[in-house]
Structure 1
Amino acid sequence: MSEELVYDQDHLIAVSENAGDIILTKEFQSYQQMRKFNVFLCRKNDPETKGKIESVVKYVKRNFSKNRVFTNLEVWNEL
């Protein structure tokens, strides 16, 4: 399990940003505490932090999933 996960700011994860303090949704905060990982949320309108999460999206689209056919999750996870 990763110690820290990077997320883009999303209404499912964060309620608001209060002077730099991120306020998480109750549901996500419960999940985060149960799984015991740190959360790094990208700042709004900040390309330096957004690049971290966008690079993962590019990797999945261009490398990890290239030329793979999705039939179901079990088959996807086997490859």
Structure 2
Amino acid sequence: MSLLITDECINCDVCEPECPNGAISQGAEIYEIAPNLCTECVGHYDTPQCVEVCPVDCIILDPENPETKDELMEKYHLIND
């Protein structure tokens, strides 16, 4: 699954620079994650870096975008090759 930032986001700016795929950007009110770019850091790190640095734990699995680890790895290759 790609990740999703909930409305509990406090716009602290720490997640955006941590994303190796450039999937995180400032939205109208809170940061947003582009599902077509989010690989949950598969291919880069063992754990999603945005989740690691988020001080309010507002980044969750996106129920609208279910993906297996294999699908995330395939997306990683499409983005980075």
Q: TM-score range by the shorter chain?
A: under 0.3
**TM-score normalised to the size of structure 1?**
0.28
- Structure of larger gyration radius: 1
Task: Answer 1 or 2: which has greater strand percent.
Answer: 1
The TM-score normalised by the length of structure 2 is 0.27
